[in-house]
Amino acid sequence: MPARLATYTIHSLTYYKSLLLTLAKCLVAGFTHKEIAHHLNGVGILSPTGRHFTAEIVKNTLASLRKPLRFPSIAYQAMMKLIFDRELTKEQCLPLLSSAEVQL
């Protein structure tokens, strides 16, 4: 079995870049939390803990990105690092930070 870096560490920036870009595209397309979870599972992106995404995990992930002081997360830290390293732009991340809620 090949070695795999845990996706829940800040060192897995490739994983987080893929996750964040996919989340942003789904939000722009108007997907619900359930549709986003289905899409992430369909393209083979697992949750940071290695499980399949659910609507609740998507909702919690977005909350951790939108309210980093209330819900500190590695996803938010990774997003800031990717922006700082110029791997992501602020414009790419704006849908993730929007306070508009998607429907369940």
Domain ranges of the chain: 13-91
- Specify the pTM: 0.78
Burial (CB < 10 A; 0-12, 13-18, 19+), residue 60, is middle
- Per-residue pLDDT of 65-104, as tens digits, reads 988 888 778 888 888 889 899 998 888 888 888 755 444 3
Residue 71 CA to residue 77 CA, distance in Å, equals 12
| Distance from C-alpha of 67 to C-alpha of 37, rounded to nearest angstrom | 20
Q: What is the pLDDT of residues 6-47, one digit of tens each?
A: 555 555 888 999 999 999 999 999 999 999 999 999 999 988
Where in the chain does DSSP place strands (E)?
none
Q: What number of helices (H) and strands (E) belong to the chain?
A: 5, 0
